Amino acid sequence: MDSRTLSHLRALEAESIHIMREVVAEFAKPVMLYSIGKDSSVMIRLAQKAFHPGKLPFPLLHVDTTYKFEEMIAFRDEFTKSIGADLIVHTNRKAIEEGASPFKLGTGKCCALLKTRALLDALEEGGYDAAFGGARRDEEKSRAKERVFSFRDKFGQWDPKTQRPELWNLYNSKVEKGESIRVFPLSNWTEMDVWSYIELENIPIVPLYFAKEREMVVRGNQLIPLEHNMPLAAGEEPQLVMSRMRSLGCTYCTGAIRSEAATMPDIITELVQFRRSERENRIIDHDQEGSMELKKREGYF
Amino acid sequence: MSASQLLRFSTAGSVDDGKSTLIGRLLYEAKGVYEDQMASIRKSTINRSTGPIDFSLLTDGLRAEREQGITIDVAYRYFATPKRKFIIADTPGHEQYTRNMATGASTADLAIVLIDARKGVLPQSRRHAYIASLLGIPYIAVAVNKMDLVDFSQSVFDQIQADFSAYAKEIGLKNLSFFPISALDGDNIVEPSKRTPWYKGTPLLDHLESVPVAEDRNYKELRFPVQYVIRPTLDFRGYAGQLASGLLRPGDEVMSLPAGRITRVKEIPSFDGPIAEAFPPMSITVVLEDEIDLSRGDMLVDPNYVPHVSRRFAAKLVWMLDDNGEPNRTYLLKHATQTVPAEIRRIRHRVDINTLENIPAEQLALNEIAAVVMETRRPLYFDSYAKNRAMGAFILIDPISNLTVAAGMIEESTPDVVEPLQLRNLEFTGEAVETATSNQLTNAERYTRAGHYPATVWLTARRGVAYLLERRLFDLGCQVHVLADDSESHLLPELSRVLSNAGLIAICSIASPDPAERDRAAGFAAANRFLEVPAKELPARDEDAVEVVIKRLEDLGVLRRKDRFERGEGI
């Protein structure tokens, strides 16, 4: 390889940094959605690079459903403090006080209240006109046509028909008051790219990604972590399973996978052999064929 | 894995060319498809074709599209082999979707043009090829698909190759390769097919893995558009941006636009430590030696290779909205890191994408392509798209709907395209006032008072030289004036003419060599009263450069020799 050719990870890095700087230069009040997951960790590293030696020129926003893993919350507080980031945590308290929970409402309704509604409220309260998200186009079919700058109307909704054509690296950042843009700097990254970059850059991630013996409820093909007093069905017994999380969300909706991969190289080796896509353990995506697209229309990331 | 390269390619093909099947096949072969996605396809309620697996369902995204059975937007797909990671811009081939094809092509290093072996080169194949050439895709791979349905006939393949090559030559498309394939059966996709013994080339995937990606990259002419200014403390000011072309190292001499100031790179700091040499497309931060104040939209360039600086230029537009485009409406034009109000000054003609004919047009409709003259409110710093993709590309935004209405590619301007502006209430006859009537001043009187002849000095780049030259000539007793207004550079020839008539030495400092303006200025002056000094003939130090210009003015007879100045002799 020519010494003046970037490796694919460095080329993706350059593209993502360009996107972040463009947003900060052109929008009045950007915010970065912080999910604590591996993609968020990569986004933060890219932002540190984009604005070095300055600090992140925007706050991090975590939409906390209160059904996250304890380890995630501990990691969040420790990590954001260590990099001197401005962290905002938002929870839909009202819905929770009214009893919203995945066990009672079912995953679809719970997600609409604790994630989508909470997110839209937080964005509106903060008056943010641009919000970075870590979504990638390779995650799910409806995301393959997502723009890097994804336009949302006054209600935070996405309409596939009004998305603007995106050419070269010239992003259209024009919005009216109340409208906003969701920005996806990792659009062109794949799951493998994310992991390879975490290894290359030695980026800290939540330990839940690494395999160890964890208490799980085995339900069909799914391993459901035993947290937040998850109610058990008749005859179900928690079991200790050597497992890890491939993607992180709420405990009930994030199934674990059986895995022995306890180190970064193990995870990458496992991925190479993997023939299952990472969102498969996400219960929400499988509610209905094309369900992610329906959620996105309503304002989900 | 981490040392592999990135190749972006676009695919274009019509509904039945088997494009989705080809992409599905590539993803499947490269294990870019996961089992649960395959299972989801198997259980999908719609199954349009017979056969074991419909690969095309892997690539169809949105519900509406799935129901209609056509893809209506650009979709991006990813797969990797040990050698490369690939980003596919999968674009629909319908006639009304020129817009999408242009979008997918804009970032592509290579285009796969699909041709159905049974049908040969159709008008739509030509459209795809034309858009690939318009958007400047460096490499074209022509995949002649469904070879299984023509018994893998060599003569069918050869005929298509000949037909397509002839058309490609007509539109200036380069770097063509042809592949006889069956996307459905996998012939010549990953492995050489046993059914095409006459084909000596490589399978398609081998080609995608080996085609050079950065060979045509411009490492020579520095273009660094300032994207964002990083100022965390009072003692740090870094200019952040993505290097569009050229190399940048600490110590390199750079010129800032629009100010035209020359300085040097002090350092290129990064999160991972200082960078010794930056090259495109790196996103970097540059610290300069001098405290010069740049902001977003400004640009650092090589003083010896400056871009065009103008408010007027010729361009090709691809119209992307159903609301028609018209001259004299205001749009926002985004180019590099600048967004400026702009108008289509004139539609030269529309291009019929099927016949390549130029057709007169008053308006631009969705998916139409036209040659236009653009005029911007502030000057742009640009190169032609053919020469430098990042520096010649722009988009137009409707300021009311905020929608992206067009994609633009800047062309080299010729004098007939960018005509001189009409100046109200001023007339330039080109005739010098030579004869005295009653008490009108004569030129001889002016020259005698000045102690030198009038002249026009045409300098490109090196604004510092222009002002230093003015200072030196002034100190020698000359009447001299610098004309250095980039926003109105098209007026320089006329203004220099006014100054010459008044007996002055007019120093035109123009950021970029524009032959049309130079010719006009030269046309206004007598042959031995026009001096052009190209930037490359000037020494690096401004003081030395000024000496060279003064020497040339003496040689032309405009100035007395310096020693005679000192003795106070007349001309």
Specify the pLDDT at position B69: 46
A211 and A113 within one domain: no
Specify the pLDDT at position B96: 57
CA pair distance B464, B543, nearest whole angstrom = 10
B273 and B295 within one domain: yes
Report if residue A3 sits inside a domain.
no
B88 and B14 within one domain: yes
Specify the pLDDT at position B423: 38
B122 and B58 within one domain: yes
Q: Residue B39 half-sphere exposure, CB side, CA atoms within 13 Å?
A: 8
CA pair distance B196, A40, nearest whole angstrom = 49
Specify the pLDDT at position A296: 65
CATH classification at residue B340:
2.40.30.10
Specify the pLDDT at position A289: 45
Confirm or reject contact between A270 and chain B (CB < 8 A): no
| A1-30 residues touching B, CB cutoff 8 A | 1-2, 4-15, 17-18, 21-22, 24-25
Report if residue A268 sits inside a domain.
yes
Contact B100 A165 (CB under 8 A): yes
Closest CA to A65 of A92, A31, A33, A36: A92
Q: Please write down the long-range contacts of B161-167, taking CB distance under 8 Å and 24 or more positions apart.
A: B163/B120, B163/B121, B164/B113, B164/B115, B164/B121, B164/B125, B164/B129, B167/B121, B167/B126, B167/B129
Nearest residue in A to B31, CA atom: A275
Number of other CB atoms surrounding residue B515 within 10 Å: 11
In chain A, how long is the greatest CA-to-CA distance? 62
Domain housing B288: 223-301
B192 and B58 within one domain: yes
Transcribe B89-134 into DSSP letters: EEE---GGGHHHHHHHHHT-SEEEEEEETTT-S-HHHHHHHHHHHH
A95 and A142 within one domain: yes
Can you list the alpha helix ranges (DSSP code H) found in B401-442?
none
Residue that has been written with the tokens 């839209």 in this structure: A120
Q: What average pLDDT does range B391-402 have in this prediction?
A: 96
Task: Give the distance from residue A225's alpha carbon to the nearest chain B alpha carbon, in angstroms.
Answer: 22
Is the predicted pLDDT of residue B119 greater than 50, yes or no? yes
Report if residue A176 sits inside a domain.
yes
Report the Cα B566 to chain-centroid distance in Å: 50
Q: Average pLDDT over chain B, rounded to whole?
A: 84
Query: Tokens for B404?
Result: 């992206």
Number of domains within chain A: 2
Q: Which of these ranges, A32-36, A67-71, A94-98, B212-216, has the smallest mean pLDDT?
A: B212-216
Q: Which of these ranges, A214-228, B161-175, B471-485, has the smallest mean pLDDT?
A: A214-228
- Last-in-domain residue among B301, B335, B357: B301
**Over the stretch B99-115, which tens digit does the pLDDT of each residue have?**
888 999 999 999 999 99
CA pair distance B63, B54, nearest whole angstrom = 17
Transcribe B318-364 into DSSP letters: EE-SSSPB-TT-EEEEEETTEEEEEEEEEEEEEE-TTT--EE--SSB
CA pair distance B321, B480, nearest whole angstrom = 51
| B228-257 residues touching A, CB cutoff 8 A | 228, 230-232, 236, 238, 240-242, 247
CB B210 within 8 A of CB B81: no
Specify the pLDDT at position B370: 96
B455 and B399 within one domain: no
Number of other CB atoms surrounding residue B454 within 10 Å: 24
Torsion on CA atoms B519, B520, B524, B525, rounded to nearest 10: -30
A170 and A21 within one domain: yes
In sequence order, the 6+-apart residues with CB closer than 8 A to the CB of B100 are: A165, B72, B73, B74, B91, B92
Q: What average pLDDT does range B169-184 have in this prediction?
A: 93
Report if residue A1 sits inside a domain.
no
- Three-state DSSP at A176 gives coil
**Over the stretch A150-206, which tens digit does the pLDDT of each residue have?**
998 888 788 766 778 999 999 999 999 889 999 999 999 998 999 999 999 999 999
Specify the pLDDT at position A108: 79
Specify the pLDDT at position B420: 45
Domain housing A250: 206-286
A113 and A180 within one domain: yes
Share of chain A above pLDDT 70, in %: 89
Is the predicted pLDDT of residue B436 greater than 50, yes or no? no
B164 and B80 within one domain: yes
Is the predicted pLDDT of residue A45 greater than 90, yes or no? yes
Q: What is the CA radius of gyration of chain A?
A: 19
Report if residue A158 sits inside a domain.
yes
Specify the pLDDT at position A200: 95
**Over the stretch B52-75, which tens digit does the pLDDT of each residue have?**
456 665 555 444 454 544 446 788
Report if residue B534 sits inside a domain.
yes
Specify the pLDDT at position B15: 65
Q: What average pLDDT does range B192-203 have in this prediction?
A: 96
Specify the pLDDT at position B139: 94
- Name the pLDDT band for B434 (thresholds 50, 70, 90): very low
Specify the pLDDT at position B51: 46
Contact B232 A12 (CB under 8 A): no
Closest CA to B113 of B161, B58, B76: B161
Report if residue B417 sits inside a domain.
no
Report if residue B435 sits inside a domain.
no
Specify the pLDDT at position A66: 86
Parallel, antiparallel, or unpaired for β B5-12 and B110-116?
parallel
**Over the stretch B242-298, which tens digit does the pLDDT of each residue have?**
999 999 999 999 999 888 788 999 999 999 999 999 999 999 999 999 988 899 999
Report if residue B450 sits inside a domain.
yes
Q: Which residues pair with B340 in a beta bridge?
A: B333
CB A12 within 8 A of CB B107: no
CATH classification at residue B470:
3.40.50.300
Q: What average pLDDT does range A209-232 have in this prediction?
A: 83
Q: Average pLDDT over chain A, rounded to whole?
A: 86
The single-letter DSSP state of residue B525 is S
- Name the pLDDT band for A104 (thresholds 50, 70, 90): confident
Closest CA to B75 of A296, A27, A190, A188: A188
Nearest residue in B to A191, CA atom: B78
Query: A293: part of which helix (H) or strand (E)?
Result: helix A291-298
Report the Cα B142 to chain-centroid distance in Å: 25
A210 and A187 within one domain: no
Is the predicted pLDDT of residue B94 greater than 90, yes or no? no
Contact B40 A144 (CB under 8 A): no
Report if residue B326 sits inside a domain.
yes
Report if residue B421 sits inside a domain.
no
ipTM: 0.89
Q: Among B7, B59, B72, B87, which would you mutate to test the A interface (most chain A Cβ atoms within 10 Å of its Cβ)?
A: B87
B45 and B139 within one domain: yes
Contact B73 A163 (CB under 8 A): yes
Q: What average pLDDT does range B404-412 have in this prediction?
A: 95
A244 and A138 within one domain: no
CB B81 within 8 A of CB B205: yes
Burial level of B382, CB count in 10 A (0-12/13-18/19+)? buried
- Last-in-domain residue among B301, B325, B342: B301
The single-letter DSSP state of residue B301 is E
Specify the pLDDT at position A132: 97
B534 and B493 within one domain: yes
Q: Among A12, A141, A142, which would you mutate to test the B interface (most chain B Cβ atoms within 10 Å of its Cβ)?
A: A141
Backbone φ/ψ region at B184: left (φ over 0), alpha (ψ -120 to 50), beta: alpha
B100 and B59 within one domain: yes
CATH classification at residue A60:
3.40.50.620
Residue of higher predicted confidence among A67 and A243:
A243
CA pair distance B484, B379, nearest whole angstrom = 13
Q: What average pLDDT does range A56-68 have in this prediction?
A: 92
- Name the pLDDT band for A234 (thresholds 50, 70, 90): confident
Specify the pLDDT at position B563: 61
Report if residue A199 sits inside a domain.
no
Is the predicted pLDDT of residue B211 greater than 80, yes or no? yes
A122 and A145 within one domain: yes
- Name the pLDDT band for B446 (thresholds 50, 70, 90): confident
A168 and A19 within one domain: yes
Q: What average pLDDT does range B346-371 have in this prediction?
A: 92
B183 and B48 within one domain: yes
Report if residue B437 sits inside a domain.
no
Closest CA to B110 of B30, B173, B20: B173
Is the predicted pLDDT of residue B1 greater than 50, yes or no? no
Number of domains within chain B: 4
Confirm or reject contact between B267 and chain A (CB < 8 A): no
A123 and A101 within one domain: yes
Specify the pLDDT at position B559: 84
B381 and B248 within one domain: no
Confirm or reject contact between A159 and chain B (CB < 8 A): no
Strands of the A30-33 sheet, one edge to the other: A87-90, A60-63, A30-33, A130-132, A180-183, A149-152
A231 and A143 within one domain: no
- Three-state DSSP at B179 gives strand
Q: Which residues of B touch A25 (CB under 8 A)?
A: 227-228, 296, 337
Q: Residue A131 half-sphere exposure, CB side, CA atoms within 13 Å?
A: 28
Report if residue A200 sits inside a domain.
no
**Over the stretch B475-500, which tens digit does the pLDDT of each residue have?**
888 899 998 866 677 788 888 888 98
Report if residue A2 sits inside a domain.
no
Tell me: cis bond preceding A231? Omega within 30 of 0 counts. Answer: no
A240 and A189 within one domain: no
- Last-in-domain residue among B161, B180, B210: B210
Task: Give the distance from residue B405's alpha carbon to the nearest chain A alpha carbon, in angstroms.
Answer: 9
In sequence order, the 6+-apart residues with CB closer than 8 A to the CB of B91 are: B10, B11, B12, B74, B97, B100, B101, B103, B104, B105
Specify the pLDDT at position B52: 46
Is the predicted pLDDT of residue B536 greater than 50, yes or no? yes
Highest mean pLDDT among A132-136, A152-156, B425-429: A132-136
Residue of higher predicted confidence among B557 and A277:
B557
How far is the CA of B122 from the CAs of B112, B127, B156, B163, B352, in angstroms?
A: 15, 9, 14, 10, 15
Task: Give the distance from residue B287's alpha carbon to the nearest chain A alpha carbon, in angstroms.
Answer: 12
Is the predicted pLDDT of residue B146 greater than 90, yes or no? yes
A104 and A43 within one domain: yes
The single-letter DSSP state of residue B524 is H
Is the predicted pLDDT of residue B82 greater than 60, yes or no? yes
Report if residue B506 sits inside a domain.
yes
Can you list the alpha helix ranges (DSSP code H) found in A236-290?
264-273
- Name the pLDDT band for B233 (thresholds 50, 70, 90): very high
B197 and B56 within one domain: yes
